[in-house]
Amino acid sequence: MKWPANIYRRFIASTRGVAAVEFALILPMMLLLLLASFDAGNGIAIYMKVRSATAVLADISNQYKTIHDSDMQQILGATSVVLTPYSSSPVVVVVSQLKITALGTATVSWSDTLNGAARSVGSSLTIPNAFTPINSYLIFSEVSYTFTPLFGFFTKAPITLKDSLYSVPRSSASISRVSP
């Protein structure tokens, strides 16, 4: 009976497989962190692209005096190109011109969209108090992207990444929108 007790003592005192056991215990957590950081990195990269697309939309559209349908399609298309190499199908782009009245209220004078719904002409919009240039016009650019995490460890639901930007028309007091 002495022989098996000796084996048990040697087994308990052995440290040769400790590293392998510790690695086996930590590996799933490390893989989870790796895949979650991959999703988070993609989300951050797409959000930065959304912010760039919003700035591009504002910068291009506020340089016109008159925008025709063909021009607007190119402007909206350029915005979705900024999102490359990510898919442009979950992106919604809206550009609107806001008229600021003497009372400081903003109403939509025209609006166009890509993959979404344009704002209704004449509808009012609340703008920040710092942006109340009375009797003037603003270009309001909005871009949103529905990001679905690839691995979805922390959330399986899609996340909507949004950005918006107000800008002043550069070439004229307002931009005319011409539709055939």
Instruction: Give a yes or no: residue 6 inside a domain.
Output: no
**Is 53 strand, coil or helix?**
helix
Instruction: Give a yes or no: residue 5 inside a domain.
Output: no
Q: Which tens digits make up the pLDDT trace of 20-59?
A: 888 889 999 998 888 888 888 888 999 999 999 999 999 9
**Is 97 strand, coil or helix?**
strand
pLDDT at 4 over 60: yes
Q: Are 144 and 161 in contact (CB under 8 A)?
A: yes
pLDDT of residue 140: 92
pLDDT of residue 151: 78
Please state the φ and ψ torsions of residue 125, each to the nearest 5 degrees.
Answer: -140, 140
pLDDT of residue 45: 93
Contacts (Cβ under 8 Å, ≥6 apart) of 36: 151, 153, 154
Locate 66 and state its tokens: 């008159």
Orientation angle between helical segments 18-61 and 69-82, nearest 10 degrees: 160
Instruction: Give a yes or no: residue 119 inside a domain.
Output: yes
Q: Which tens digits make up the pLDDT trace of 142-157?
A: 999 999 888 776 677 8
Peptide bond into 85 cis (omega under 30): yes
pLDDT at 180 over 60: no
Give the containing element (helix H, strand E) for 94. strand 91-100
pLDDT of residue 130: 65
Q: Are 159 and 43 in contact (CB under 8 A)?
A: yes
Region 105-122 average pLDDT: 89
Please indicate whether residue 105 or residue 13 has the higher confidence score (pLDDT).
105
Instruction: Give a yes or no: residue 2 inside a domain.
Output: no
Locate 54 and state its tokens: 């919003």
pLDDT of residue 131: 62
Instruction: Give a yes or no: residue 154 inside a domain.
Output: yes
Locate 119 and state its tokens: 């704002």
Q: Which residue range(s) make up the domain with 26?
A: 17-178
Q: Are 112 and 118 in contact (CB under 8 A)?
A: yes
Instruction: Give a yes or no: residue 168 inside a domain.
Output: yes
- How many Cα atoms within 13 Å fall on the side-chain side of residue 25? 6
Please indicate whether residue 165 or residue 3 has the higher confidence score (pLDDT).
165
**Region of 152 on the Ramachandran plot (φ > 0 left; ψ -120 to 50 alpha; else beta):** left
pLDDT at 175 over 70: yes
Q: What percent of the chain has pLDDT over 70?
A: 93
pLDDT of residue 13: 73
Query: Kind of pairing, strands 136-147 and 176-178?
Result: unpaired
In the chain, the number of structural domains is 1
